[in-house]
Amino acid sequence: MRRMSIALSAAVALSAALSAVPAQAGESTSDLGNCTATACHFDVPPGTYDVKVLLGGEADSSTAITGETRRALLPETAVAAGERVARSFTVNVRTPEGEPTGAAGTAGLDLTLGGSAPALADIRVTPARHARQIFLVGDSTVCDQPGDPYYGWGQRLPQYLRKGLSVANYADSGESTVTYLGNPQLWATVQPQIRRGDLVLIQLAHNDKTTDEATYRANLEALVAGVRERGGEPVLVTPIVRRWFSSDGTLNNGTALLVNGLGVDHPAVARSVAAAEGVPLIDLTAKTKALVESLGVEGSKSLYLYNEKRDNTHTSVRGATAYAGLVRDELLAQGLVPEGLVRVG
């Protein structure tokens, strides 16, 4: 805390000429009066905002930034004593700020300073004028989980993106293709917001346990068509695997690989729809299967909440971060986002 206090004191000296007023829409802010040693709050209405931070202090520092409902917005960044490093990102602000059917949360933009030795020298928040949005349509393995130890991969994805590209995570716990299309808080809320050029990543399968193949296929097709109606680009994402091993050390073909009780192979249907509709596909089932099997029965436990909850479906912060990285890699490899808007390494 002493190190953080020193950093904040130095920052105040750097920005002494700045007025300490809450941020308003259409206004540029540059004052640490909106921040404490561990957090910042900006009184802005729902929308998309560019955030520019200046990191560093008198001592060596290492700062990470999360926002809203525990979204990772900036990976931990080390700065040597006496130096300053500028970083920028774009963040989506809305109500509810996390899961669409969850609690409303706090109005405005909330940022939390973390890392081993956080030091914030300056911050500026402005409305984003030309940001491209990545909408996420999914379930609890994707969503902004409200509390530890749960994390969705969509919650960890924003840290890999730079200014000009933001994540609007509308994934929601417990949703299937049937319920996502039927709930007015979900698809009927997302679709009107899609603008030309936006990406919409669709990963729904974990809760389609009683959905027959024809219905599942038709629902994916409806989501694809709905995105295209708005000028957006749909991307089908096969579901992350469950951590259920067979005796031979591979993941089984049923529970782990998302084949439901009716025998519907959800990843196979998603691949088929993507091919038939000419839609980009991120085969997250195949990629997470390869990672989990490479780590083995014991090594893969830390990707999931096995140790904390005996849960082989939901991911830990480590797992969500790794899986978000796989999505990031595919967005780049398929040319779905420009290289200059993505953080690697």
Fold exhibited by the domain 2-127: Jelly Rolls (2.60.120)
SS3 of 175, please? coil
Domain boundaries, the chain: 2-127, 132-341
Positive or negative, the Cα torsion across 315, 321, 324, 325?
negative
- 78-131 pLDDT, tens digit per residue, is 999 999 999 999 999 999 999 999 999 899 999 999 999 999 999 999 999 989
Per the CB < 8 A criterion, the answer to whether 239 and 141 are in contact is yes
Task: Work out the burial of residue 157: count CB atoms within 10 Å of its CB; fewer than 13 is exposed, 13-18 middle, 19 or more buried.
Answer: buried
- 141-185 pLDDT, tens digit per residue, is 999 999 999 999 999 999 999 999 999 999 999 999 999 999 999
Q: What is the mean pLDDT of the chain?
A: 91
Whether residue 273 is predicted with pLDDT greater than 90 in this model: the reply is yes
pTM of the model: 0.91
With a pLDDT cut of 90, the percent of the chain lying above it is 88
CA-wise closest residue to 213 among 272, 299, 282, 256:
272
H/E run at residue 226:
helix 213-229
Beta bridge partners of 166: 133
Reported confidence tier of residue 9, pLDDT bands at 50, 70, 90: very low
- Domain 132-341: state its class: alpha beta
Same fold, 2-127 and 132-341: no
